Structure 1
Amino acid sequence: MFTTLRFPAILALVLLPVTIIAQPGRSGAGLPSSVTVTAGGASADDLNDDFGGRFGDTQVTHVAASLSHRFSLTDRSSLTLEGGYERFDLDSDPAVVPLPDQLQTVSVQGMLRHPLGPRWSLLANLKTSVANSGTGIESDGLGVNVVLLGLYRQTDTFSWAAGLMYRSLAEDDYRWLPAVGFDWRPNQTWAVSVGFPRTGVTYTLNDRVRTSLEATFQGGTFYVKEPVGVRLAGPRFPLRDTLLDYSEVRVGGTVEYQPHPAVTLTASTGVVVGQKFDYFDRNYELSSDGATPFVRLAVRYSF
């Protein structure tokens, strides 16, 4: 959840993962463990670089799976441990498009939440991951993300948080970032969440169905070992042994259906409004600003 980000929308850089405040969610609320599987895909407009290069569109498909368990330390303190795997497949020829055909992340994280008073809580999250291109595991893709936040429940309907984020694989200017966000629930039906990786408005139809309009982020920073762009001319090609920051901003709608208290099905669709592949330590970037469709499906089982 705390992947490295570098995107033109600087505002998104200072928003926290607001899911940890009080984002709407009912799936298995009283159950400590859960398994989540996600799949989806998005097409892209033509990719361009800053040197006049034009490349065809690159379709990105995505699969992810995670397993988490929440341990109750005291009546109000908890520790949640989670292991996850995420993969992006890029439908392009790495020889002529300077992108790998696969990116993957294997991660383990722990999140501690501890009360500091009637309204204040401390949240600390530590995530260790290996993110690289290809199918193997590369030690150069080892990264650590840390989040420290103060959570404040101002009223029964409004909560906010502020703190600091650190991401070891990020570009130097983006390793340390402030984090702010809020969650507002004026009644049982409506909820407004502002944060990263999701900002949106949610409407609850009934105990089983809710809908959302939202902006979300997808991506991460990956170590690329194998050469890409070997058929391209220029002193910067081929690219290898470098870091690639992939970021994508999506705007759309989501429908969530809960056929059973322990099962939640989610479907999202909309448009990708910005896509970027940035080799920031090589000063080379591919981007697409065209709006293209995406779809995402997920299932969560709590136990």
Structure 2
Amino acid sequence: MKTFLTLVCFLAVLESVRAQPFSGRPPTTVRFTSSYTGEGAMSQGTRSLGDFDQRYYETTIRTPIARTGRLDWTGGLRWRRFDFDAPAAAPIPDSLQAVSLDLNVGTTIGKRWRLDGTFYPGIYSDFEDLQSEDFNTPGLIRIVYSQSGDLQWLLGLRIDPENDLPIVGGPGVRWRFADRWTLNFFFPSPNLTFKASEDLSFSLGADWLGGSFRVNDAFGSRFGRPELDGENVTVREIRAVASARYRLNETWRLSASAGYALHRRIAFEDSNLQLGAEAAPFFQLGVSARF
């Protein structure tokens, strides 16, 4: 599957280069978010290891590339970083990062159907000794059926060949059931949104944060666990979230979120090593711009 997704991304880049540029160019978007998840006791099975907390950063730049026939192409860059403050006995890297392209292709089928695919080919690693095994191509595929302007049905799947859950997602719905209320019930961030004004909105829901990364070839040996050398590690955090979003002007937007990380897990699946942490509060700030 990993080879197949890499080939798909290569063909997508090749086709986008051949495409014609947009005549009326949509805006380029830049987003930055930073979050902190507080301390919670970490354990391996019934063995307590100590307190664990986490910081997360993400920056995304995305711009329209071109239109070919019915296909719309956008591209950009994406950077993600997890910083961990883990117990000394826990075999967890100090940090994990991902540097990738951000490639999206979408098409409208008839009057009611929309198909979108977003892929992130890049390096997913602790960045200590980069190798070809650090390359991965996770992605998200979404099919949308628009029953009306206020009601859309969706099927969304996240695909990550290196993850312990290589395919996750399912059906969902976006339903604006009142003038100010919208239900967005689909993976990875289901929520109920209230539009207080043209510039301010609030939401309550959930969020899925994580990814898969490759550690260096000496990582496990530092902890007396050589079987972890060069292994793939999966990070997952599932959150209950309350958020506010505010549009400052036509260019700038701010967001703030807080809630509880209910499920916190770091796992080396090939070595059957699973580490969990207690639920803990988190907060997140974000800023975005459209040019």
Instruction: Assess same fold via TM > 0.5.
Output: yes
Structure 1 residue 292, shift from structure 2 partner: 1.1
Q: Within the alignment, does 1:302 sit opposite 2:290 as a pair?
A: yes
The equivalences for 1:135-214 within 5 A come to 137-162=130-155, 165-171=158-164, 174-177=165-168, 179-214=170-205
The equivalences for 1:55-74 within 5 A come to 55-71=49-65, 73=67
How far, CA to CA, are the matches of 2:235 and 2:242 in structure 1?
Answer: 23
Gaps of 5+ in 1: 1-29
3-state DSSP of counterpart to 2:133? helix
Tell me which amino acid in the other structure corresponds to 2:207. T
Q: Which residue of 2 aligns with 1:115?
A: 108
Q: Which residue of 2 aligns with 1:78?
A: 72
Q: Which residue of 2 aligns with 1:99?
A: 92
Q: Which residue of 2 aligns with 1:34?
A: 29
CA contact (8 A) 2:169 2:187 kept: no
Bigger RCO of structures 1 and 2 (CA < 8 A, at least 6 apart): 1
Structure 1 residue 261, shift from structure 2 partner: 1.5
How far, CA to CA, are the matches of 1:229 and 1:104 in structure 2?
Answer: 21
RMSD: 2.3
Alignment equivalent of 1:285, drawn from 266, 274, 277: 274
How far, CA to CA, are the matches of 1:229 and 1:214 in structure 2?
Answer: 41
**Which string of whole-angstrom CA distances, capped at 9 and with x for unpartnered residues, describes residues 143-183 of structure 1?**
11244443210122111122655322124xx4345632221
CA contact (8 A) 2:170 2:187 kept: no
3-state DSSP of counterpart to 1:198? coil
- Structure 1 residues 75 and 208: CA distance shift in structure 2, 3 A: farther
* Larger helix proportion of the pair: 2
CA contact (8 A) 1:97 1:229 kept: no
CA contact (8 A) 2:264 2:279 kept: no
Moved over 6 A (4+): none
CA contact (8 A) 2:134 2:214 kept: yes
Q: Within the alignment, does 1:269 sit opposite 2:241 as a pair?
A: no
How far, CA to CA, are the matches of 2:125 and 2:100 in structure 1?
Answer: 12
Structure 1 residue 224, shift from structure 2 partner: 1.1
CA contact (8 A) 2:213 2:232 kept: yes
CA contact (8 A) 2:156 2:172 kept: no
TM-score by length of 1: 0.80
3-state DSSP of counterpart to 2:270? coil
Q: Which residue of 1 aligns with 2:123?
A: 130
Alignment equivalent of 2:228, drawn from 239, 257, 268: 239
Q: How many residues align?
A: 266
Structure 1 residue 74, shift from structure 2 partner: 6.6
